[in-house]
């Protein structure tokens, strides 16, 4: 309990000084002879060979981009080429110290990291394990291709061909690529080797790796997660959020299984963030490792190490890994190295001198390491040359095969051209394969649950009078019941966000859960929306099913990348290898003005890859939340704060047991004949009021509650419009670009012949949400709805307008409104 | 000697009523200022209401599960 930590004003206000651990910089000084004795000659030779493989691979890409040919191949490679030529020792050194169960999450410049991790994993896994892995991937299609079209090899040689072909085919957007061609150069991954998604958004892997670490800790795994991002990522807010999240004090002080998250923040520091120089120009820090001091007394065990020497990197990663497994993380490594290649192929090195490039060329990691192995007598020049020739020959064969469409065809788009679209959602549910631990208390004895048991399930009494939300099940209770049920039976569900534990969420949805679940199931997150969503994604990639909360929908902006580029994308970008079962709750406020009252459901619906629900009744809230929590796909739940106390008016009551309402099916809430009104979220209630009033004037409304935005079954709406011939869409979102506009457009298209009038969207105007006292002139009110029905849809020229909307939409549009 | 009333407090302009969860002190009990007397639940939170003064509980005017409006006298304490 947070209350158990007493903040003592006397102790807090006593004078003291803060000191932090000193940060070693290039402290590695082990003699190669010692490394030789400890690691053996084979490991050192493999390190050299792996660096050569990465260099050859990326040189091939560089050659294709600049000359259109490489070796025997002529091919126009159209994709990106963010190369890491010169950085090979950093990648290979890290991989030497990691097991296949340790997971790396890399950057847009990750070919080297990916290959290094794969090559190291191939060394560590036995032939049987490798065969099983290769057979299992894509029903063995990639393995068959490699066996058929590349020189005859078995065991590790075969697996290396599999690794290289899987990556290159992915970059060439071929069906047998590791991710079916859906990821490409910057995103390729292959989880059986511990290489998790690489990310084209700078710094995005930090939060996702942290979430992976969260789930590894939850499961008590003997492994770590590695965020592999560049020095430029230290300028990204979400990276700082991730660093803080990984070291939250509660992991040590409040969780039963004490220990911080096992996350290594491995910064490949090549001194440049594209064309900006980090140290000296764009960053405050002088040495990257110094940022550890900003967070913790132990400085996050930060160290600067020599990224041109694989053994210096391996030594550091090995030591940090042990600290992380001991629960002493998170850890930061500043791995200094140099990128000889440009940021991309359009880079003309305007930001650095030839002298500087040449000076680093003199300490090229491959040449230097090769020479030191020769000097130590571990390798002779002839053998080194032979290794290089083998690598080049293998690479030539792989490039030839991957580019050949007869060997590696592009993915089919399906007979209707929507093949990629069908990768967006699985529509599947995967039930838990184990029981959840016993709750901390008997649920029946928890005050909230006891009180709910006494409440009326319906919202009206025998006389038809409304029942107080204190005595009837509300929308808040409906959400709670679905969440409680799921959390009790499914140990994969973890619940967090700001104020989620003792407070029960700012709007009390979770009140009572803290009595039942320990901190690893329900916890308070920092005010770090980016980290809240990013960690949920990482935990989901590892097998968890997080339910996270953004207190207000307006805070979606703070988690924009995480929601729109990460949560929405990885299902399809992984070609279905990953499910991202994350549920994000966000409330839509009111009374708090422009930054706390926006319905951004349409913004979320605009980005492909997210399922969106917006329930308006307790029964729908419970059933849709149950579906969201069972879904293997990401779901965003919009909840109107105005409706948390709403009791059930439409059904006999909210069923007590668990039930699911399918996502995507609108619901007819009131049958009518003259005008169909499709509502989104809380607008259902002012429309009901308007319907009562209009009935008195002989106009009958058929009211349909959208309930979901994505997916959306137009069937019930088209059927209704076929009957009424008129459609009004009411939403609290600003009209311009809103989801109601999308609905209106499609209904116009598919029901044109039935329409007696053009569909009308009644939303909020295209300006800021005013504070509480002026909201009636902003959100659609019953009078506004009546006006729209009578004038625009019923064509009653004599209608006496009573709403506040008397503006000219076309004139406003010319002014940007 | 004074009679001090414990009233259902204002809890923000959205909360108009609350339900009595538990009555922790009965008529005749001695209470100290700040000691919890009643537990209430609003739709959003559960909270304890504290004795406004030290003294003896003279009257308890509510029962468990009652729904009370803001401003309702819940108990009277004699100092």
Q: Where are the domains of chain B?
A: 3-78
Report whether A286 contacts A6 (CB < 8 A).
Answer: no
What is the Cα–Cα distance from A577 to B67, expressed in whole angstroms?
53
Whether residues B45 and A511 touch (CB distance < 8 A) is answered with yes
For residue range B19-51, what is the model confidence (pLDDT) as tens digits?
898 899 999 999 999 999 999 988 777 888 999
Structure tokens at A739: 């989801």
Indicate the SS3 state at residue A275. Answer: coil
In this structure, which topology does domain B3-78 adopt according to CATH? Answer: OB fold (Dihydrolipoamide Acetyltransferase, E2P) (2.40.50)
Of residues A447, A451, A508, nearest to B44 (C-beta): A508
Question: What's the pLDDT band for A804 if we cut at 50, 70, 90?
Answer: confident
Contact A539, A531 (CB under 8 A): no
Closest CA of chain B from A125, distance in Å: 54
User: Number of residue pairs across A and B with CB atoms under 8 Å?
Assistant: 34
Secondary structure class of A797 (helix, strand, coil)? coil
Q: B17–A470: do the CB atoms touch at under 8 Å?
A: yes
Residue A766 burial (CB < 10 Å; 0-12/13-18/19+)?
middle
Q: Which of B29, B32, B17 is nearest to B59 (CA)?
A: B29
Write down the pLDDT at residue A346: 80
Q: Which of B68, B65, B33 is nearest to B51 (CA)?
A: B33
Q: How many CA atoms lie within 13 A of A802 on its CB side?
A: 10
Query: pLDDT (tens digit, 9 = 90+) per residue, A204-228?
Result: 999 999 999 999 999 999 999 999 9
pLDDT single digits (tens) A15-47: 999 999 999 999 999 999 999 999 999 999 999
**Residues 6+ positions from A438 with CB-CB distance below 8 Å:** none
Q: How far is B47 from chain A (nearest CA, A)?
A: 11
Q: pLDDT tens digits for A487-531?
A: 999 999 999 999 999 999 999 999 999 999 999 999 999 999 999
Residue-wise pLDDT for A350-390, tens only, equals 899 999 999 999 999 999 999 999 999 999 999 999 999 99
- CA A164 to CA A185: how far, in whole Å? 12
Contacts of A462 (CB under 8 A, 6+ apart): none
Q: What are phi and psi of A229, to 5 degrees?
A: -125, 175
Q: Is the preceding peptide bond at A330 cis, omega within 30 degrees of 0?
A: yes
Q: What pLDDT sits at residue A383?
A: 97
- B/e letters for B51-68, b = 16+ CB within 10 Å, e = fewer, are bbbebebeebebeeeeeb
Residues 640-679 of A with CB under 8 A from B: 644-645
Calpha distance A564→A569 (Å, rounded):
7
Interchain CB distance below 8 Å, B45 and A474: no
Encode A738-760: b = buried (16+ Cβ within 10 Å), e = exposed. Answer: bbbbbbbeebeeebeebbeeebb
Express as a percent the part of chain A with pLDDT over 90: 95
Query: Which tens digits make up the pLDDT trace of A246-257?
Result: 999 999 999 999
Residues of B in contact with A471 (CB under 8 A): 19, 67
Domains recognised in chain A with CATH numbers? 32-408 (3.40.50.970), 443-643 (3.40.50.970), 667-814 (3.40.50.920)
* Model confidence band, residue A468 (pLDDT cutoffs 50, 70, 90): very high
Residues A52, A59: Cα–Cα separation, whole Å: 10
pLDDT in the model for residue A2: 61
- On the CB side of A86, CA atoms within 13 Å amount to 21
Q: Are B18 and A470 a contacting pair at CB < 8 A? A: yes
Residue of B nearest to A454 (CA): B65
In terms of CA atoms, which chain A residue is nearest residue B41?
Answer: A470
Q: Do A470 and B19 touch (CB under 8 A)?
A: yes
A511: chain B residues, CB-CB within 8 Å: 44-46
Is the minimum CB–CB distance between B12 and chain A shorter than 8 Å? no
Interchain contact B16–A (C-beta under 8 A): no
Omega before residue A711 within 30° of 0, cis: yes
Please give the distance of CA A126 from its chain centroid, rounded to a whole number: 33
The minimal CB distance from A468 to the residues B17, B21, B46 is found for B17
Interatomic CA distance for residues A579 and A574, integer angstroms: 9
Tokens matching residue A617? 């009744």
Distance from C-alpha of A306 to C-alpha of A304, rounded to nearest angstrom: 7
CA–centroid distance for A374 within its chain: 46
Q: How far is A592 from chain B (nearest CA, A)?
A: 13
Is a pLDDT exceeding 60 seen at residue A63? yes
Q: Is the pLDDT of residue B1 over 90?
A: no
What ranges in A417-546 are assigned the alpha helix state H?
447-454, 475-489, 529-541
Which residues in B lie closer than 8 A to residue A509 (C-beta atoms)? none
Mutate to test the interface with B, among A3, A454, A508, A515 (most CBs of B within 10 A): A508
Which residues partner with B46 through β-bridges? Answer: B41
Return mean pLDDT, chain B. 89
Q: By mean pLDDT, which of A179-183, B42-46, B66-70 is the weakest?
A: B42-46
Check residue A770 and report its DSSP letter: P
Does A470 reach chain B within 8 Å, measured CB to CB? yes
Decide which of A224 and A275 is more confident.
Answer: A224
Q: Which residues of A touch B15 (CB under 8 A)?
A: none
Chain B contact set for A510 (CB, 8 A): none
Tell whether the model's pLDDT for residue B13 goes beyond 80.
no
Q: Is the ipTM of this complex over 0.90?
A: no
| pLDDT tens by residue, A723-757 | 999 999 999 999 999 999 999 999 999 999 999 99
Residue A362: helix, strand or coil by DSSP?
coil
DSSP, collapsed to helix, strand or coil, labels residue A276 as strand
Residues of A carrying an active site annotation: 596
């Amino acid at each position: 309990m947070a209350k158990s930590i007493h903040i003592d004003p006397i102790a807090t206000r006593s004078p003291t000084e803060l000191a932090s651990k000193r940060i070693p910089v290039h402290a590695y000084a082990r003699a190669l002879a010692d490394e030789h004795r400890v690691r053996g000659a084979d490991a050192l030779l493999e390190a050299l060979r792996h660096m050569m493989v990465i260099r050859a691979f990326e040189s091939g890409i560089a050659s294709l981009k600049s000359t259109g040919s490489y070796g025997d191949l002529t091919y126009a490679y159209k994709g990106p080429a963010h190369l890491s030529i010169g950085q090979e020792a950093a990648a290979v050194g890290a991989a030497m110290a990691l097991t296949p169960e340790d997971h790396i999450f890399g950057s847009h410049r990750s070919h080297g990291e990916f290959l290094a991790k794969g090559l190291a994993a191939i060394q560590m896994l036995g032939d049987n394990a490798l065969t099983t892995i290769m057979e299992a991937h894509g029903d063995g299609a990639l393995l068959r291709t490699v066996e058929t079209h590349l020189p005859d090899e078995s065991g590790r040689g075969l697996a290396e061909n599999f690794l290289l072909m899987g990556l290159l085919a992915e970059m060439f957007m071929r069906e047998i690529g590791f991710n079916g061609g859906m990821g490409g150069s910057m995103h390729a991954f292959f989880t059986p080797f511990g290489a998790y998604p690489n990310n084209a958004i700078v710094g995005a892997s930090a939060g996702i790796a942290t979430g992976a670490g969260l789930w590894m800790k939850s499961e008590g795994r003997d492994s770590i997660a590695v965020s592999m991002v560049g020095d430029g990522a230290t300028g990204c807010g979400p990276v700082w959020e991730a660093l803080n999240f990984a070291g939250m004090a509660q992991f040590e002080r409040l969780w039963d299984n004490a220990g911080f998250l096992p996350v290594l923040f491995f910064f490949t520091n090549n001194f440049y963030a594209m064309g900006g120089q980090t140290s000296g120009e764009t960053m405050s820090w002088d040495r990257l490792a110094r940022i550890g001091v900003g967070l913790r007394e132990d400085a996050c065990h930060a160290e600067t190490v020599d990224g041109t020497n694989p053994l210096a990197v391996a030594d550091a990663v090995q030591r940090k890994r042990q600290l992380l497994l001991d629960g002493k993380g998170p850890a930061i490594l500043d791995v200094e190295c140099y990128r000889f290649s440009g940021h991309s192929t359009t880079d003309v090195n305007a930001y650095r001198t030839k002298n500087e490039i040449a000076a680093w060329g003199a300490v090229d990691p491959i040449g230097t390491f090769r020479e030191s192995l020769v000097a130590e007598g571990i390798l002779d020049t002839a053998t080194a040359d032979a290794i290089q020739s083998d690598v080049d020959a293998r690479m030539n064969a792989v490039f030839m095969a991957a580019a050949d469409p007869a060997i590696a065809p592009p993915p089919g788009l399906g007979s209707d051209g929507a093949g990629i679209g069908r990768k967006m959602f699985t529509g599947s549910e995967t039930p838990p394969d184990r029981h959840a631990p016993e709750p901390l208390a008997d649920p029946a004895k928890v005050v909230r649950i006891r009180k709910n048991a006494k409440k009326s399930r319906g919202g009206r009494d025998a006389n038809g009078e409304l029942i107080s939300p204190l005595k009837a099940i509300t929308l808040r209770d409906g959400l709670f019941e679905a969440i409680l049920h799921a959390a009790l039976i499914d140990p994969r569900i973890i619940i967090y966000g700001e104020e989620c534990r003792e407070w029960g969420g700012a709007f009390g949805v979770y009140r009572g859960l803290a009595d039942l679940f320990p901190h690893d199931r329900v916890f308070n997150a920092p005010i770090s929306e980016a980290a809240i969503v990013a960690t949920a994604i990482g935990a989901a990639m590892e097998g968890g099913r997080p339910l996270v909360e953004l207190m207000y929908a307006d805070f979606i902006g703070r988690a924009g990348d995480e929601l729109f580029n990460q949560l929405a994308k990885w299902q399809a970008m992984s070609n279905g290898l990953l499910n991202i079962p994350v549920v994000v709750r966000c409330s839509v406020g009111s009374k708090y003005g422009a930054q706390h009252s926006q319905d951004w459901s349409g913004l979320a619906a605009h980005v492909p890859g997210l399922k969106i629900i917006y329930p308006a009744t307790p029964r729908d809230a419970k059933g849709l939340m149950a579906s969201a929590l069972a879904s293997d796909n990401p779901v965003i739940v919009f909840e109107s704060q105005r409706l948390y106390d709403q009791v059930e008016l439409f059904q006999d009551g909210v069923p007590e047991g668990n039930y699911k309402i399918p996502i995507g099916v609108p619901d007819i809430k009131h049958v009518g004949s003259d005008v169909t009104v499709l509502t989104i979220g809380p607008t259902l209630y002012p429309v009901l009021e308007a319907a009562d009033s209009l009935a008195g004037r002989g106009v009958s409304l058929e009211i349909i509650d959208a309930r979901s935005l994505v997916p959306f079954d137009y069937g019930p709406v088209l059927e209704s419009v076929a009957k009424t011939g008129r459609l009004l869409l009411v939403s609290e979102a600003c009209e311009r670009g809103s989801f109601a506009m999308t609905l209106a457009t499609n209904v116009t298209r598919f029901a044109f012949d039935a329409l007696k009038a053009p569909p009308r969207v009644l939303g909020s105007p295209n300006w800021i949400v005013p504070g509480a006292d002026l909201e009636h002139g902003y959100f659609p009110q019953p009078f506004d709805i009546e006006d729209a029905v009578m004038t625009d849809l019923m064509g009653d020229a004599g209608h006496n307008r009573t709403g506040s909307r008397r503006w000219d939409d076309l004139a406003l549009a010319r002014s940007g409104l | 000697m004074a009679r001090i009333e414990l009233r259902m407090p204002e809890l923000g302009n959205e909360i108009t009523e609350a339900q009595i969860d538990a009555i922790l002190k009965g008529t005749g009990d001695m209470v100290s200022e700040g000691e919890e007397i009643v537990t209430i639940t609003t739709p959003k939170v559960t909270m304890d209401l504290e004795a406004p003064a030290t003294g003896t509980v003279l009257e308890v005017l509510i029962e468990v599960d009652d729904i009370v409006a803001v401003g309702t006298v819940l108990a009277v304490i004699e100092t």
